[in-house]
Amino acid sequence: MVGWSKPTAEALSTGAGRDGRVSTPDGRLDLDMAVSKEMGGSRERRQP
């Protein structure tokens, strides 16, 4: 396939497992993550 390039993405996940932050270098994605309420966490942030 001439002229075709493979799409790529880059993101950084920080924190302790399911409790942390996920973001992309361009800032389009920037989320605080937390353990679900059913697993003893708070629902105040996004679930992984």
**Within 10 A of 17 (CB to CB), how many other CB atoms are there?**
9
Quick one: what percent of the chain has pLDDT higher than 90?
A: 25
In a domain, 1, yes or no: no
Burial (CB < 10 A; 0-12, 13-18, 19+), residue 2, is: exposed
pLDDT at residue 15 is higher than 80? yes
Q: Is residue 5 part of a domain?
A: no
Nearest to 45 by CA among 37, 20, 36, 34: 34
pTM across the whole model = 0.60
- Establish if 16 belongs to a structural domain: yes
43 has pLDDT over 70: no
The domain of 18 spans 12-48
Work out how many domains the chain is built from and give that number: 1
| φ, ψ dihedrals at 28, nearest 5° | -65, -25
| Structural domain includes residue 24 | yes
Q: Coil, strand or helix: which one is 38? A: helix
Mean local confidence (pLDDT), 15-30: 88
Residue 6 lies in a domain: no
Sequence-distant (≥ 6) Cβ neighbours of residue 9 within 8 angstroms: 24
